Each structure stands twice: as C-alpha cells, then as structure tokens.
C-alpha cells in the first residue's frame, strides 16, 4: 500500500507541474473596450508575450458572413479597430498553424457615448482548474478507500 501511495503522489506532482505545458498551445483572445476603439489581444495560454502576425477577421453585428475588416496582429499580439454601430461584434483570430479562436462582444449605445464599460471578470488560471480537479479525484478516491477499509474491518 505504501509503494502505491508513493507512485500516486509522484504521478500527481508530474501532472500538476506539466499542466502549463499541456495548455501551451491554446489560442486565447481578449477584447477590451477603449472608447472609441476595441482592442484585440491574442496569445497562447501560459505565455506572457502576444501572438504576432496572426490573421484577424472582424464581423459586424447582423452581418455574420460578411467580413467588416481584416488585418494582422502587431509584434505584441494586438490589433485595434473602430466599431461603427451597436450590437454584437465577432472577432476571429487565426495563427495560420491550425489554432483559431473566436470571441464576441456586445456593444451598447453607451460605448459610442464614451461611457466606460463595466470591468470584465478575470478568468481562473488553467493550473488552478487542474489542481481543483485532481484534488476532487483524490478526495473521492480517499472516501472510496475509507468505505472499503471499513467494510473489510467488519
């Protein structure tokens, strides 16, 4: 039993320490309102630098098939554009190697009046999600082993 526990703990630490590497190629896109501009930021998760020279496609509200504007991200992975009307703007970023991400942002009339947008909620880092998931698995396994041990002792 002792040897099995050591193996489980070893595998757990290897998995948790490599979680960032496993998610390294997920393309993440964020949209930020800076009236009168919408700022698109693209990068791979787990990396602090942006994705340069990625293709950006902007779709205006109500025109799902017609491209409003195209361009490429700069060296920092940023691209800015000026929206022309209220509604849901859709942004697609493609790195050209099979990674593609899409984000949508609804703009109200307050954006065009120059009012500040409400702050967006921060996302939970992937490593925390992995650690919570693994902790739940260990907790469930512990409960099952406890129940099994109690049955054996009777």
pLDDT digits (tens, 9 = 90+) for 11-54: 666 666 665 555 556 899 999 998 899 999 999 987 778 899 99
Could you tell me which of 116, 115, 120 has the C-alpha nearest to residue 103?
Answer: 120
How many domains would you assign to the chain? 1
> pTM of the entire structure?
0.62
Structural domain contains residue 107: yes
Report the distance separating Cα 126 and Cα 23, nearest Å. 8
Instruction: Write out the residue range of the structural domain in which residue 66 sits.
Output: 26-117
Report the distance separating Cα 114 and Cα 116, nearest Å. 7
Close Cβ partners of 143 (under 8 Å, ≥ 6 residues apart): none
Structural domain contains residue 123: no
Structural domain contains residue 129: no
Structural domain contains residue 146: no
Query: Does the pLDDT at position 104 exceed 70?
Result: yes
pLDDT at 78: 96
Question: What is the 3-state secondary structure of 93-149?
Answer: EECCCCCEEEEEEEECHHHHCCCCCCCCCCCCCHHHHHHHHHHHHHHHHHHHHHHHH
Q: What is the CATH number of the domain that holds 89?
A: 2.60.40.10
**Average pLDDT score over residue span 140-144:** 90
Structural domain contains residue 148: no
């Amino acid at each position: 039993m002792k040897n099995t526990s050591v193996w489980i703990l070893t595998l757990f630490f290897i998995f948790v320490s490599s979680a960032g590497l496993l998610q390294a190629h997920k393309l993440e896109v964020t949209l930020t309102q800076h009236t009168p501009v919408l700022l698109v930021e693209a990068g791979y998760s787990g990396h602090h630098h942006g994705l340069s020279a990625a293709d950006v496609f902007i779709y205006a509200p109500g025109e799902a098939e017609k491209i409003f504007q195209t361009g490429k991200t700069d060296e920092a992975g940023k691209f800015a554009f000026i929206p022309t009307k209220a509604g849901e703007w859709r942004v697609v970023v493609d790195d050209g190697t099979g990674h593609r991400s899409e984000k949508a942002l609804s703009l109200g009339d307050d954006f065009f009046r120059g009012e500040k947008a409400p702050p967006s909620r921060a996302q939970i880092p992937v490593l925390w999600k992995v650690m919570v998931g693994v902790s739940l698995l260990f907790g469930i396994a512990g409960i099952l082993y406890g129940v099994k041990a109690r049955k054996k002792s009777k």
